[in-house]
Structure 1
Amino acid sequence: MTTDSGAEPARTAELSGTTALVTGAASGIGYACAARLAAAGCSVHLADLDRPAVLRAASELDGHPHAVDLTEETALGQLPAEVDILVNNAGIQHVAPIHEFPTEVFTRIQHLMVTVPFLLIRHCLPHMYARGWGRVLNISSVHGLRASPNKSAYVAAKHALEGLSKVTALEGARYGVTSNCVDPGYVRTPLLEGQLAAQAETNGITEDEVADRVFLQHSAIKRLIEPEEVAAVVGWLCGPGSDHLTGTSVPIDGAWTAH
């Protein structure tokens, strides 16, 4: 895994002796977070629905793979509870106006992106409390702070995740556990690149034009965010000097939320 500058994450030992669990870790933001934490000395557990991809990712990072469907009740039993750093990243998207939005899809998105983080936080907090140190990182979105049409389920889920993160921060403070949301704008992930290509073909314009007109219209910085840039913030929130940074949201949005 490389950063946008082409360099691998710098190897350090600042998180040596800690264990991390990252969901949605086979690619994109999740993989970048797992790589960043592994480079800092963490023993990293990678969870993802895509079995071949998570096995490959774990092999690359010398991590521990877990091919699981997090929406299944039995999934938690396959994941470790002795986790010092939890990164809730797994998510899906569906775009449709509210009056056409399938109820079962809305429900599944809430389950994966709100209930599953709650269950995983509950699963891991006892170990963090016992140790007297822990980090909960919830990969939210600018849509946890702002709304867009046709994304009712995603926006609702991310807003709920923001609230869950703040409650976790309040309850965990006395035990040395912090909880924060990281709120990126549009990130260059395989999913987004597929959307760029599809819209470019449909509209007869270049992918750069799609990015500028659709995805970056609210951003003052006119380029997509790289997954490694999100991972760098996650690493910072786990590192030295972060003890008092809790219960907040860190926008990585090119000044989108400054409007």
Structure 2
Amino acid sequence: MTTSVEQRAALVTGGTGGIGLAIARRLQGDGLRVAVLDLDRPVGREIATEHDLTFIGADLAKREDCRRAVDETVAVLGGLDVLVNNAGFQHIAPLADFPEDTWDTMLRVMLTAPFLLSKYAWPHLTRSGQGRIINISSIHGHVASPFKSGYVSAKHGLIGLTRASALEAGEQGLTVNAICPGYVRTPLVTGQMADQARTRGLSIEEVEQKVMLEGAAIKRLLDPGDIAALTSYVASPAAWGMTGAVLDLDLGWTAR
């Protein structure tokens, strides 16, 4: 027996800011009950409360926190139908100087945690017959940039995890897909543009057009709401036939 859209529940990791918060609010607007997972900090709890979202405090670099996060979500929301693996961060450094502990943490948060959350959530996601796992990868899941070895490795791996999981989940009504955005106007990206402007002697506008969007066909940064809109469709019952897909929302960046 399938549940109605109004009864479905979602967990969004990295859900108290940027892309994650936009996704959480969009799914909430679609009628889902939504929990957002982030590091257990007062600001995260305040944001969740402000938007009437359930807050799950967890460190995704820790295996036990991944299991607990799923258990808490199910206990509070009464089930779990949609898992959005969005949490992540960037560290930019040459490979020879890349901190080993940072490498370990990046892979735990952006690749191991999606695996563990999917594993622990699997019995709940397959129960309703319309479960969804949506992995937020990146254009760097397809192609590489220098000085981003950890980020690029994790995002490439996330696409592989998406495809393998989709093949295993199909007969259980669970779909697994990945979304690969280009550059999105988030605090992280605007901070990177400010750094580039200082080091290159350019204006913020010049960095946006000549550096960040140099390889894009559409010279405009994405908005978090753009990723949320695509996530909304992939999470919906209408997308039942889409699985194992890698959906590029990249302004034509990878079309070359």
TM-score of the two chains, using structure 1 as the length reference: 0.91
User: Which among 47, 50, 53 is matched to residue 43 of structure 2?
Assistant: 53
In the alignment, is residue 212 of structure 1 matched against residue 202 of structure 2?
Answer: no
User: Following TM superposition, by how much is the alpha carbon of 1:83 offset from its aligned partner in structure 2, in angstroms?
Assistant: 1.2
Distance 1:178 1:84 in 2: 11
What's the CA shift string for 1:143-189, capped at 9, x where partnerless?
Answer: 00111111111111101000101111111100111010000010111
Cα pair 2:14 2:37 within 8 Å, conserved: yes
Distance 2:8 2:51 in 1: 15
Aligned to 2:189, what secondary structure does the other structure show?
helix
Identity of aligned residues (%): 43
In the alignment, is residue 17 of structure 1 matched against residue 7 of structure 2?
Answer: yes
Distance 2:206 2:252 in 1: 20
Distance 1:78 1:99 in 2: 35
Cα pair 1:21 1:47 within 8 Å, conserved: yes
Q: Quote the residue 2:20 is aligned against.
A: 30
Gaps of 5+ in 2: none
Q: Quote the residue 1:73 is aligned against.
A: 63
Distance 2:253 2:40 in 1: 32
Q: Quote the residue 2:185 is aligned against.
A: 188
Distance 2:45 2:239 in 1: 32
What's the CA shift string for 1:188-208, capped at 9, x where partnerless?
Answer: 111111111222233332111
Aligned to 2:63, what secondary structure does the other structure show?
coil
Cα pair 1:30 1:89 within 8 Å, conserved: yes
Pairing of 1:1-259 with structure 2 (within 5 A): 15-49=5-39, 51-76=41-66, 77-79=68-70, 80-81=73-74, 82-259=79-256
| Residues 163-172 or 45-54, more deviating | 45-54
Cα pair 1:23 1:48 within 8 Å, conserved: yes
Aligned length: 246
Cα pair 2:40 2:56 within 8 Å, conserved: no
User: Following TM superposition, by how much is the alpha carbon of 1:50 offset from its aligned partner in structure 2, in angstroms?
Assistant: 5.5
User: Following TM superposition, by how much is the alpha carbon of 1:223 offset from its aligned partner in structure 2, in angstroms?
Assistant: 1.0
Cα pair 1:26 1:50 within 8 Å, conserved: no
What's the CA shift string for 1:67-94, capped at 9, x where partnerless?
Answer: 2211123313144243100000000111
Cα pair 1:38 1:61 within 8 Å, conserved: no
User: Following TM superposition, by how much is the alpha carbon of 1:63 offset from its aligned partner in structure 2, in angstroms?
Assistant: 1.3
Cα pair 1:140 1:162 within 8 Å, conserved: yes
Query: Which structure: greater helix fraction?
Result: 2
User: Which ranges of 4 or more aligned residues in structure 1 deviate by more than 3 Å?
Assistant: none
Gaps of 5+ in 1: 1-13
Distance 1:142 1:111 in 2: 20
Distance 1:60 1:232 in 2: 21
